[in-house]
């Protein structure tokens, strides 16, 4: 397995981020593995923006605090290993400087297969790994921590997640086709065109998406468009003209993009620029 590693050392400590692709048989539904290890002398806070994936955090380090930047008075959640559903609110994560674990990025359809849960029960929420994966969720942190290398950890994920995914019923063909059409256009395909191509009603497609994606097609398309903007920014290192990026990614104009950023990232595009974290679609807090 080919890995991509990024390492950094500074006066406050060091961090490592190692990315790897899952086994080819899983790549339709598992997008990426990312291992991380941080040894810092001061607390670390990150702004985790909405993404187009369902994210598994398998931690074999201390717990971290999760709080809402948009609702400062909301209770702080303390989590170790957890699942972040599609369209979960923008979140601030904070730890005391020590962190070890693996992030697994899944498509919503892959998460439906892996978790065996209707996705509307997961969408917009952060849930414990043991709540959603049962015994496998309880054993994953210890087993990954015991593996000697990142290559061994990712291979272990291939085996354990792959066994469960390959045994699960596949997504219904109409939902899978609709998801792929939306994904191919980064959420720019109108829902009216989608239902016309499928020959079904909006209500039928919305019900199918509620079960297998977690949100209606229109909401899923919004997340995809925003995720495409974040990918553009990550690829370009935060550079580029905002108005051009807005139009290229399917927004009416830059004010439209600004409103989406306020909801999905908790900041404006200008406030985010220059704060992108290398190798991931998140920003420094």
Average pLDDT, the chain: 88
Contacts with 49 (C-beta within 8 Å, 6 or more apart), sequence order? 90, 226, 230, 264, 265, 266, 281, 282, 283
pLDDT band at 273 (very low <50, low <70, confident <90, very high): low
pLDDT at 275: 54
Q: How far apart are CA 196 and CA 44, in angstroms?
A: 48
Cα Rg, the chain, nearest whole Å = 19
- 115 near 78, Cβ under 8 Å? no
Q: What is the mean pLDDT of residues 16-35?
A: 95
CA end-to-end distance (rounded Å), the chain: 32
Answer whether residue 270 shows pLDDT above 90: no
Classify domain 3-167 at the CATH class level: mainly beta
pLDDT at 239: 52
pLDDT tens-digit profile of 170-188?
Answer: 999 999 999 999 999 999 9
């Amino acid at each position: 397995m080919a890995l991509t590693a990024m390492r950094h050392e500074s006066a406050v400590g060091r961090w490592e981020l190692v990315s790897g692709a899952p086994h080819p048989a899983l790549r339709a539904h598992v997008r990426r593995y990312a291992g991380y290890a941080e040894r810092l002398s001061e607390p670390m806070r990150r702004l985790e923006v909405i993404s187009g994936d369902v994210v598994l955090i398998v931690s074999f380090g201390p717990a971290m605090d999760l709080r809402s930047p948009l609702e400062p008075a909301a209770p702080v959640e303390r989590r170790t290993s957890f699942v972040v559903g599609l369209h979960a609110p923008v979140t601030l994560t904070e730890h005391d400087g020590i962190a070890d674990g693996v992030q697994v990025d899944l498509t919503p359809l892959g998460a439906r297969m892996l978790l065996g849960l209707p996705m509307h029960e997961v969408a917009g929420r952060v849930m414990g790994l043991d709540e959603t994966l049962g015994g496998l969720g309880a054993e994953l942190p210890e087993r990954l921590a015991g593996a000697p290398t990142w290559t061994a950890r990712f291979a272990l994920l291939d085996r354990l997640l792959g066994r469960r995914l390959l045994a699960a019923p596949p997504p219904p063909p109409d939902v899978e086709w609709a998801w792929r059409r939306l994904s191919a256009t980064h959420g720019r395909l109108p829902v009216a065109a989608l239902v016309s191509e499928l020959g079904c009603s909006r209500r039928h497609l919305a019900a199918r998406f509620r079960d297998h994606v977690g949100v209606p097609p229109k909401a899923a398309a919004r997340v995809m468009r925003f995720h495409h903007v974040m990918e553009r920014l990550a690829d370009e290192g935060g550079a580029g003209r905002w108005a051009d990026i807005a139009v290229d990614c399917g927004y009416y104009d830059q004010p439209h993009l600004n409103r989406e950023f306020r909801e999905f990232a908790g900041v404006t595009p200008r406030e985010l620029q220059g704060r992108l974290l290398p190798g991931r679609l998140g920003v420094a807090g």
